[in-house]
Structure formats: structure tokens, C-alpha cells
Chain A
């Protein structure tokens, strides 16, 4: 646990007063400008310390996962707080092969990559139409899509399963791909509609005056202008689908179609009868977590703003 230095608070104010008295800052009345706030100063220090403790906890959690992923099972069990002696990179090999994280990682990369790109490709034109082609229809469709964001997946899971069965989408990666695309649409359309609406109309009009067709205006003017919104949408879908578990759990049954989150749940199941291996477990956890950490470091601001959008209006 990272330690935060707590300064001794009791003596400081009076010493400070003494200094200030000497330098003539303290008025004869004995009250500094803005005095009577030493309590508040202490409260603030405590508050700051608590915030940094919380921040420290999150950083510690990440660091601990990484450290533990290269430790040997028995030593983790004996002393979970220690650092590794010799790093056990075999843990990653175990997780990758016997833990099924390897094939699952390949599946997940393909699935998430294809689905996120598709989602943005079909949402962008729709969002453009809903935001820039005014009319009663675009208003009501915007609301309709937004309502979909509020429907929890478990509420529609039964009919969804029935439909998926009819369409032979159960237990196949292409099937999961279709479901991922469909169920991510409401959020993405909403996000991009807001985004296109915020773009200036003047460039579009200029293109129109120059005789560009509406489709060309969309393709060559609006899409490049909206690049930052498209990247945000892409990143958010990638994060969301990478971490997705519920649909995968329902729609995937075979080992060969597992995604990373299913590999982790499968690993937990296997531990129940073949004994625990925390080292390999946390190696698997890191295989899931580290790509997202990298993405977060790279596109963090966009991810935060994209996810909290809508509330800040």
C-alpha cells in the first residue's frame, strides 16, 4: 500500500503565526487575514490524504495484479503482499495454452475489432441523417434509439435467444458479432448524433454551393470533420465489447468460441476441481486488463468524455 505522508498538524499553525508575527504580517489583533481557518486547513489536508489514498488503492490494485501474475502459486498463497523472487513468466504460458486464454484472445481481438468497426460504419450515416436532415421522422427515431439504451440486456435475453436460434446465431462467433453490433447501436447512434449536431453547418453549405452531392458532402466533409467523434465511438465500443460477458455467457457454449471473459470464468470453474493456480489466474487477468490499460493511457480523455457525455448537459 502506498503511504501518504501526514504532516504533524498540531504545532504548525502556532509556529506559522510566530513567523508571521515576526515578519509583521500578523496584525496586532492577532488574526491573520483569513484566519480562523486553521481547522479548515487541517480538514483539507485530511480530505486530500483520503483522495490520494483512494487513488493509491486503484494504482496498487493494478500493480498488484501485474506483480502477482508473475509469481508462483504457493508463494502467493503464503504471502499475498510480497514481491516476486524470480519472475515466473511461465504463468502466462500456462494461461495462454492450458487456460485457453490464447485462442480466446484471438477470438476476442477479431470479434471486437470487426464489431466495433461495423458499429461505427453503420451508425455514422444514421447519426448524420438524424442530426442534419431535420424532420419529424428524425426526431422520433432519435428518441426511439435513445430509449434502447435504457433497456437492460437481461430483459430481452429470452426473445433474443429465440431469434438467435432461428437465425443459427447461437454458439458461433459470427452470431455473437451480429448480436454485439445490434445491441451496441442505440448508444453509438446517440453518441454520434450528438456529435454531428455540434459540428458547424457552414462547411456543408459551402460544399453544397460548390455543387458537391449530398452523399459526397457527407463522405468527404462531415465524416473527416467528425473524426474525433468516430474515434471516441470506436474506442468506447472496443472497451465495452472487450469486457462484455453476459451475452457471451448466454450465446457461446463451446470452448473453441470462447471470448476472454469466458476463458476467465472457465478458468475459475477449472480451479474448483483441479486445484487453484493464482499465478496463472492473474496472468489471465492481465491478458484481459493490460490491452485496456494501454488503450486508456492512449485515449483516456476521449473515453472519459464519451462515457460521461449526456450527463453533462
Chain B
């Protein structure tokens, strides 16, 4: 998929390695294959060739090239000048990048926690709700809407004399805070939580649905309260779903671009640097703004830092979360 448009499209990566393994057990050695299998095998390369070539040219090549370009000063047209790790040195001292990276972390951790708490709470309630299918479909709905549209709508709710202000005035509060002026990033975080909760509630519901109902009956008999039910039944039994979701969120939170961008961003302008994340930083150093800086080497260094950060996080998560699973 192309990007953050539907944050969901990368859901799959988390199961990467398990995806490959199912084929293994019933693999037969080539010698005892029938003629059909042998002829089918000849289809392999013709079938795979086109996507593979496109993948190598537009994915793998560029990913590796990012590392190379990040070692140079380059505007994309002129000569590449080798700078070694110079770009990285400047990058780590760059206030804007540090702010953007901090924002990325705040989104990853802050929004992530909010989304997970809300999703679990909602999944627990939806489990026994009449009309749950409908509720789930409506909660999921923001995920199929363009993030820039959601961002325009969200901005309109919070802008001066927008929906929230005039609602507050309706109940007699005339001097509400200047939401977009003073609390822009918080408003954005809230919006991200709103959009993503609909997605993760769907995943977690699927996990919760597999828990046999008699376990909750047992809880009832034992007089367990809502938190105890969650802690002793729901969480342990949905742990694999939680672990996968955590990785999915890590990946998709780093991809967030458009929802942030449309807060002040247009075809000409970038939003204020205070709300940038690392994705906006890369865009801002290359193609963004009225006079795009085209700092290809510098932006590539930021891209490499982002990618390495992502790889480290995903490995850590797989490690930590998998070990927990064995305990249960």
C-alpha cells in the first residue's frame, strides 16, 4: 500500500514469520512430486516475476538507497557530495527534528495507550451489547474516510466559533480555550485516538469473541468485578491479539502523515513545526513548503533513523510480548 491513507493496510506485517511457516510441514521433496506438481512448478517464476520486479525496483532498491543517500549532501539534481555521518550529526542537534521525533514518540506511546484502553473497554461492552454489529461498523467507519477529510472535520469542531465553541456557548461558557491556537497538538492526539480506536476495537473484539462464554459465567458465579474479569480472563486469553496489535500500531503510528498534515497544511504550506512528526519532517526537508528545500541527503538520514527505530521497536515488541505469551 501506498502509505498512511488507510492506516490499516500494514496490519499484516506483524504476522510475517508465521505467514511463511504453514507451508513447511506438508512440503514434499521434489522427487515424489507428481507430473502435475512438476508442471505447476514451472508456473512459479512467470507468476511471481512482475510483482517481484516492481517490488525490487520500488521497495527494496529505494530502502537500500536511503542508507546510501543519507551519507551525502544532495539536492537530487547536482553532484552527490560524500559527507559520511555528517548528516546524522546535524540531525541529532536539530531542534526541529528532535521535536518531531518527540512528537512521534508521544503519538506512539500516548495515543497508543489511550487507544488500547479505550478499545478494550469498548470491546468488553460491545461483547454483550444489542446491536453490536451495527455499533462496530459505525465505530470502524472513520477508517475508510480520507485522513485529510477527518482532519478538516476535526479542525472545524475545535476552531474558533466552531462546533465545540458554539455548543459551549449554548450552555453558557463563552470563553472556552483557544483549542487550535494553544492546544493544537493535544487536539490532534485526541483526533488520532478517535480514528484508531475504531480499528483496534474491531481487532480486539475478534479476539474477545473467541473466549468461551462459560468463563464469564464462572466469573459471575465467583462474583468477579469488571476489572477482575478483564485481568484474569480477557487479557490472558487475547494476549496474542494484543501483541500483534501493539506491533501493528507501532508500524502504523510511524506512518501517520496526512491527519497531521491537513492541520494547517495545504498544497502550498506545511503545518507549524510544533506538530510535526518524523514523517512530516522528511517531507518538510524535501518537497514541502512554498520553497521546497530538497535536502535529499539530510531527509534520508531522518528516514534511516525512523526505519531503524521502527525495526528496533518491532523486534523488541516481538521479544517481550512473545515471552509473556508462554507464561500464560
Bound CA–CA A308/B3 (angstroms):
16
Q: Are the CB atoms of A307 and B6 closer together than 8 Å?
A: yes
A-B contacts counted at CB < 8 A amount to 380
Query: Which residues of B sit under 8 angstroms from A156, Cβ to Cβ?
Result: 58-59, 62-63, 65-66, 303
Q: Which of A11-19, A85-93, A123-131, A223-231 contacts B (4 or more CB under 8 A)?
A: A123-131
Question: Scoring A residues 54 to 69 as 1 if CB is less than 8 Å from chain B, else 0, what string do you get?
Answer: 1100110110110000
Q: Which of B109-117, B133-141, B176-184, B320-328 contacts A (4 or more CB under 8 A)?
A: B133-141
Q: Are the CB atoms of A51 and B125 closer together than 8 Å?
A: yes
Q: Are the CB atoms of A135 and B58 closer together than 8 Å?
A: no
From 1 to 58 in chain B, residues with beta carbon under 8 angstroms from any chain A beta carbon are: 1-6, 8-24, 26-28, 34, 36, 39-44, 46-48, 50-52, 54-55, 57-58
Q: Are the CB atoms of A244 and B65 closer together than 8 Å?
A: no
Which of B13, B283, B287, B307 neighbours the largest number of chain A CB atoms within 10 Å of its CB? B13
From 43 to 101 in chain B, residues with beta carbon under 8 angstroms from any chain A beta carbon are: 43-44, 46-48, 50-52, 54-55, 57-63, 65-66, 69, 76
Which of A48, A154, A215 neighbours the largest number of chain B CB atoms within 10 Å of its CB? A154
Bound CA–CA A152/B13 (angstroms):
12
**A84 contacts B by Cβ under 8 Å:** no
Known: A152-B255, A311-B245. A292 touches B47 (CB 8 A): no
Which of A52, A190, A261, A310 neighbours the largest number of chain B CB atoms within 10 Å of its CB? A310
Q: Are the CB atoms of A159 and B66 closer together than 8 Å?
A: yes
Query: Which residues of B sit under 8 angstroms from A165, Cβ to Cβ?
Result: 76
* Interface size band for A: 35 or more
Bound CA–CA A38/B156 (angstroms):
41
Q: Are the CB atoms of A264 and B48 closer together than 8 Å?
A: no
Query: Which residues of B sit under 8 angstroms from A221, Cβ to Cβ?
Result: none
Question: Scoring A residues 146 to 182 as 1 if CB is less than 8 Å from chain B, else 0, what string do you get?
Answer: 1111111111111111110100000000000001111
Bound CA–CA A47/B120 (angstroms):
12
Query: Which residues of B sit under 8 angstroms from A242, Cβ to Cβ?
Result: 146
Pick the contact of B76 from A79, A139, A162, A191 — CB < 8 Å? Answer: A162
Q: Are the CB atoms of B18 and A313 closer together than 8 Å?
A: yes
Known: A43-B226, A214-B36. A55 touches B139 (CB 8 A): yes
Least distance between A305 CB and chain B CB atoms (Å): 9
**B192 contacts A by Cβ under 8 Å:** no
Pick the contact of B15 from A261, A285, A313 — CB < 8 Å? Answer: A313
Query: Which residues of B sit under 8 angstroms from A65, Cβ to Cβ?
Result: 153
Query: Which residues of B sit under 8 angstroms from A217, Cβ to Cβ?
Result: 40
Q: Are the CB atoms of A304 and B140 closer together than 8 Å?
A: yes
Q: Are the CB atoms of B267 and A154 closer together than 8 Å?
A: no
Query: Which residues of A sit under 8 angstroms from B223, Cβ to Cβ?
Result: 36
**A194 contacts B by Cβ under 8 Å:** yes
**A40 contacts B by Cβ under 8 Å:** yes
Bound CA–CA A242/B36 (angstroms):
41
Top 3 nearest A-B pairs (CB, nearest first) are A269-B266, A159-B62, A243-B146
| 18 CB-based A-B contacts, threshold 8 Å | A133-B40, A141-B52, A143-B20, A145-B55, A149-B251, A150-B13, A152-B4, A154-B306, A155-B307, A158-B303, A159-B66, A163-B61, A245-B148, A265-B266, A265-B267, A269-B268, A288-B149, A311-B244
